[in-house]
Amino acid sequence: MRATYLLGDQSVELREVPDPVLIEPTDALVEITASCICGSDLHPYHGPAVTARPIGHEFVGRVTEVGAEVSTLKAGDFVIAPFTINCGTCQFCREGLTTSCVQAGSWGRTNSTQSACQAEAIRVPLADGTLFKVDAEVDQALLPSLLTLSDVYGTGYHAARSARVGAGDSVVVIGDGAVGLLAVLSAKALGAEQIILMGRHTARTDLGRQFGATDVVSERGEEGIAKVRELTGHGAHKVLEAVGLLPAFEQAIGVARPGGTISRVGVPQYATGPVGREFFGPNLTLTGGVAPVRSYIGTLLPDVLEGRVNPGLVFDSVLPLQQVAQGYAAMEARESLKVMLRG
Amino acid sequence: MRATYLLGDQSVELREVPDPVLIEPTDALVEITASCICGSDLHPYHGPAVTARPIGHEFVGRVTEVGAEVSTLKAGDFVIAPFTINCGTCQFCREGLTTSCVQAGSWGRTNSTQSACQAEAIRVPLADGTLFKVDAEVDQALLPSLLTLSDVYGTGYHAARSARVGAGDSVVVIGDGAVGLLAVLSAKALGAEQIILMGRHTARTDLGRQFGATDVVSERGEEGIAKVRELTGHGAHKVLEAVGLLPAFEQAIGVARPGGTISRVGVPQYATGPVGREFFGPNLTLTGGVAPVRSYIGTLLPDVLEGRVNPGLVFDSVLPLQQVAQGYAAMEARESLKVMLRG
């Protein structure tokens, strides 16, 4: 079968590799129907050259074989995979914090037998805990939206849910990538009254308006903060930060109302941040983190299956797996918001 | 009348000053029955010499005169003052975030006519919003506990409440000062199951046990973290940080369970803190801030009046105002936990 390997230095390569096989009795094998490229894949992509390793952490597909100890899945089942591997039975999994699973793992770790998801097939460890089986008949038109449940929809939802977005809230979303846009959709679904999207790519912010943004602010830094304060008065109740860079966090503090909450889902590219008196004085709260998307699939799936939401609109490009390298190049050049790969 | 002036360089002075008079129609004059010295007063006390300014931000007393626009108070009323001045009518006051009142003020600001609270009498601006009138007959034995509602009890409660301490929680309290001890009492009242007090002064941690601590850990840093992890397994659900120094915040991160909450009420003596991936990965939440104690008095007062809690035990010394300088020296030397001053 073919699988994508990261080489770094703006290069990935589709390689012919042996078909995956069951190793542990808790494994399942899955034929991948669709996978995709994540904004976070771009960091190692444009980073320095590395020893080739498999890449990709989002997919949907059909189970082809299960190990002897897999009890909830069988060949033929359609499944959604979250971006982390988890057991489903430890106390953190039971509480819904699947990313803190005591056996948590990542797809495609270097120096392991673990394959990754931008591929034709994959071995899934801890399959009962990791994979979410879709019981309904799967309409091909829903594939993009189902695929967002692997990561970006659950991550955007995590931002809004961790911030406890509720009826009547004013919400600022920082970042117009797929996660930011789905944070907009999630804030809308949770009852936010005013949703201000901070982003500067018109095609993306237009989709943000379609998802529920009431206002768009393209300015950044002090100028952007002033604009949000014009729109909100004292600032926003909830700020959803989907970028991960320090200026975005500083901007979040600038637009938060006293007593407000900043919820981060952009992986911090910094070690320390401004949580001194400017944060303490107005009683700000900082929350969010690595999204336990596995535990949200069951919550978010019904609206997807019944067409009440269409998160799959974040995929503005669908390519055959064969063209994965073009997909990376298009996302790197910001010509594509998010690329879906068909097997 | 006499009022305490801060000089800095380990010195305060009781000075004879003119009696306070009404300035604004929203003012009230109060004869101070009891005031006290706060841990936070020690920072400027042992700091460099400064131009003399009035000091103190906690008191209870009797109203002697009110301005023409004061509608809820009259001479003779017994009142509790929070450590900040607030209007009671702006949107933040109405929401209970009185410390973000749009007219919020502090006692004893330099270069103002505002007097401060370690004195015999005081002018109280925005009296309707600021002062809390106690309708019950005031038993002298309750004075210490009533006085804690000015700051330390409400601040300890803010730590526990902001962290949403609830039934079954494991809680770590960092700091065995008056606020930390009252955070213990508050966590207990809110239903915490395990309360681990991190502190090293036996007299204080003994009082912490009396307030509800189930365990005491005297070690700090890595050693303290290891001890807490022995007691909790994966760490505590809620960490109440009542110190304000960076090592205390780092310790809080070390003892927090994945998905846990750190609630700070110690004023940060640092501008930036470690909120990068070590904070983001386990989905920690940071909350707390300057406590809006004015809005908690009504909640906490009944248990005080009916003797169900005795927060006044944090006062291990009662001195006449005349001996305010000895009171500062005793707290600075850690011979006293908290000193109450009688008029």
Q: What is the mean pLDDT of chain A?
A: 96
Domain A162-288 annotated CATH 3.40.50.720: yes
Six-digit token string for A331: 């996302």
A328-341 pLDDT tens trace: 999 999 999 999 99
Contact B151, B132 (CB under 8 A): no
Quote the CA–CA distance of A249 and B175 in Å, as a whole number. Answer: 29
Q: Which residues of chain A are within 8 Å of residue B282 when distances are taken between CB atoms?
A: 100, 289
Contact B105, B85 (CB under 8 A): yes
Query: What pLDDT, on the 0 to 100 scale, is given for residue A104?
Result: 82
CA B306 and chain centroid, separation: 21
Q: Residue type at A285? A: T
Q: Over pLDDT 90: what percentage of chain A?
A: 95
Quote the CA–CA distance of B256 and B276 in Å, as a whole number. Answer: 15
Task: State the helix-helix crossing angle for B246-255 and B221-232, rounded to 10 degrees.
Answer: 30
pTM over 0.95: yes
> Of A116 and A179, which is predicted with more confidence?
A179
Arithmetic mean of pLDDT, A47-66 = 96
B193-220 pLDDT tens trace: 999 999 999 999 999 999 999 999 999 9
CB contact under 8 Å between A283 and B259, yes or no, is no
Whether B258 has its CB under 8 Å from any CB of chain A: the answer is: yes
Q: Chain B: nearest CA to A112, how far in angstroms?
A: 22
Six-digit token string for B87: 């209007």
CATH class of A2-151+293-342: alpha beta
Pairing of strands A339-342, B2-6: unpaired
Q: Which residues of chain B are within 8 Å of residue A99 when distances are taken between CB atoms?
A: 281, 283
Show the DSSP H helices in A46-191 as ranges.
91-95, 127-130, 143-148, 152-162, 178-189
Q: Which residues of chain B are within 8 Å of residue A273 when distances are taken between CB atoms?
A: 272-273, 275-276
The residues spanned by each domain of chain B are 2-151+293-342, 156-288
Q: Chain B: nearest CA to A124, how far in angstroms?
A: 23
DSSP string, A294-309: GGGHHHHHHHHHTTS-
Quote the CA–CA distance of A319 and A36 in Å, as a whole number. Answer: 9
Report residue B111's pLDDT band, with 50, 70 and 90 as the boundaries.
Answer: low
CB contact under 8 Å between B258 and A100, yes or no, is yes
Q: What residues 163-222 of chain A have any CB closer than 8 A to a CB of chain B?
A: none
CB contact under 8 Å between A283 and B258, yes or no, is no
Interface probe with B: pick from A280, A287, A293, most Cβ of B within 10 Å: A280
Query: Nearest residue of B to residue A244 by CA position?
Result: B276
CB contact under 8 Å between B276 and A287, yes or no, is no
Q: What is the mean pLDDT of chain B?
A: 96
Q: Over pLDDT 70: what percentage of chain B?
A: 98
Check whether A110 has a pLDDT greater than 60: no
Q: Which residues of chain A are within 8 Å of residue B234 when distances are taken between CB atoms?
A: 91-92
A299-311 pLDDT tens trace: 999 999 999 999 9
Check whether A113 has a pLDDT greater than 80: no
Q: What is the complex's ipTM, to 2 decimals?
A: 0.96
B61-84 pLDDT tens trace: 999 999 999 999 999 999 999 999
Lowest mean pLDDT among A105-109, A201-205, B69-73, B263-267: A105-109
Contact B195, B184 (CB under 8 A): yes
Contact B304, B149 (CB under 8 A): yes
Whether B285 has its CB under 8 Å from any CB of chain A: the answer is: yes
Bridge partners, residue B170, by sequence: B194
Q: For residues B173, B174, B177 and B178, what is the CA-based torsion angle, rounded to 10 degrees?
A: -30
CB contact under 8 Å between A283 and B289, yes or no, is yes
CB contact under 8 Å between B97 and A283, yes or no, is yes
Whether A40 has its CB under 8 Å from any CB of chain B: the answer is: no
CA A169 and chain centroid, separation: 23
Query: Nearest residue of A to residue B158 by CA position?
Result: A283
Query: Nearest residue of A to residue B258 by CA position?
Result: A100
Check whether B112 has a pLDDT greater than 70: no
A13-38 pLDDT tens trace: 999 999 999 999 999 999 999 999 99
DSSP state for residue A273 in the 8-state scheme: B
Whether B245 has its CB under 8 Å from any CB of chain A: the answer is: no
Q: Which residues of chain B are within 8 Å of residue A95 when distances are taken between CB atoms?
A: 259
Quote the CA–CA distance of B155 and B295 in Å, as a whole number. Answer: 11
Whether B290 has its CB under 8 Å from any CB of chain A: the answer is: yes
Compare CB distances from B275 to A273, A277, A281 and report the shortest one's residue: A273
Of A26, A42, A30, nearest to A3 by C-alpha is: A30
CB contact under 8 Å between A288 and B283, yes or no, is yes
CATH class of B156-288: alpha beta
Quote the CA–CA distance of A42 and A113 in Å, as a whole number. Answer: 23
Check whether B147 has a pLDDT greater than 70: yes
Whether B274 has its CB under 8 Å from any CB of chain A: the answer is: yes
Arithmetic mean of pLDDT, B177-197 = 98
Q: Residue type at B171? A: V
